[in-house]
Amino acid sequence: MKDVLVLGIESSCDETAASVIRNGREVLSNVISSQIALHTQYGGVVPELASRKHIENINWVIEDALTQAGVSLDDLDAIGVTYGPGLVGALLVGVAEAKAIAFAKKKPLIGVNHIEGHVCANFIEHPDLEPPFLCLIVSGGHTHLARMKDYGEFELLGRTRDDAAGEAFDKVARAIGLGYPGGPKIEKAARAGNPHAMEFPRGKVDGSPFDFSFSGMKSAVLNYLNHAAMTGETVNQADVAASFQKAVIDVLVGRAVLAAKELGEDKLVMAGGVASNGALRKAMEEACRKEGIAFYHPSPVYCTDNAAMIGVAAHYHYMKGERAEWDLNAVPNLKLV
Ligand code: KG4
Ligand code: ZN
């Protein structure tokens, strides 16, 4: 059977990325141009700067992805692009580029939901993994507990009511002086700290056992820091990082495993930037082993934003015959379901 080649394009936040995927699961190239150095000066992503950088980078990123894969635009079967959720100006760069290529080369255009893309990252390294399964998506903008019923079909079980897990990592990192991006810096600092030094609240949402709330936990860290500043107490950065990280992990593991048990799911898939956290992976792995749940997660490079995951998601929509129209637009607040 002829190979199916999909070009994935991602520009929803601060990474400009392109990737060529063969037959839905094989990564022929995965090029990511990160803007972290640019945004670090401002302590977070500046949307207008992000859009401009995407414009500067998108052409060479795509050219590199094609060259590394050893294919030309003519060889492609479809062009997949993230059209939401994300920063509107950033998304528009990818969407306009994908439309231009698809129109000029007469190729099918596939619009991909970024959150679905994160879940699909798991198909790259787990060739036997197929839906249905339970998934926990933990990124900078989203915290969702969902069921992937079939390719491209989700049922939402729970979500955060306030901050996303990654957002909480970023805000706490800033508060304790670790800077941006917060997740990896907290993970590193936490290695030298005591996770039981402070007890931060494990937020629950009354009546919604699968929803999340991280704002109380974040406020508790800020209150602790304010109190220490007022009383002249020295703050042990590593202990705060380790105790905060432990609180987040307890909540994520507790809720995901509870959902798996209550719904009788035997496969749990984790995805998104926070899923690259080593301590979280270890805790989830152990909890799943105890409960007889098969646990899947991508390598760190496929957890944070990349275009390979977008190419994989696009492949399955393409195979179902789904196509985007030429009026495909950026949808900044696109929902998973
Ligand atoms: O999935 P992603 O790259 O972008 C979004 O779609 O949001 O996730 C980025 C988020 C950031 O909040 C970042 O702090 C967090 O993922 N993150 C981590 C780690 N690496 C990235 N959080 C905890 N531990 C990490 N090692
Ligand atoms: Zn993402």
183 CB under 6 A from ligand 1? yes
**Would you say residue 180 has pLDDT above 90?**
no
Distances 55 to 49, 148, 245 between C-alpha atoms, Å:
10, 33, 36
pLDDT band at 269 (very low <50, low <70, confident <90, very high): very high
Number of neighbouring beta carbons within 10 Å of residue 192: 12
Please name the amino acid found at residue 55.
I
- Of ligand 1's listed atoms, the one at least distance from the Cα of 165 is 12
How does strand 15-22 pair with strand 109-113?
A: unpaired
The pLDDT assigned to 1 comes to 82
pLDDT band at 91 (very low <50, low <70, confident <90, very high): very high
CA gap 166, 172 in Å, rounded: 10
**Would you say residue 275 has pLDDT above 90?**
yes
Residue closest via CA to ligand 1's atom 7 equals 140
C-alpha 62 – ligand 2 centre gap (Å): 19
C-alpha 12 – ligand 2 centre gap (Å): 8
**What SS3 state is found at 77?**
coil
C-alpha 41 – ligand 1 centre gap (Å): 18
**Would you say residue 55 has pLDDT above 90?**
yes
Cα 320 vs. chain centroid, distance in angstroms? 24
pLDDT band at 76 (very low <50, low <70, confident <90, very high): very high
Q: Give per-residue pLDDT as tens, 11-44.
A: 999 999 999 999 999 999 999 999 888 988 888 8
Q: Give per-residue pLDDT as tens, 297-337.
A: 999 999 999 999 999 999 999 999 999 999 999 999 999 99
CA gap 86, 13 in Å, rounded: 6
Average pLDDT over the chain, rounded to an integer: 97
Average pLDDT for residues 153-172, to the nearest whole number?
97
CA gap 62, 169 in Å, rounded: 31
Pocket test for ligand 1, best of 39, 245, 304, 334 (most atoms within 8 A of CB): 304
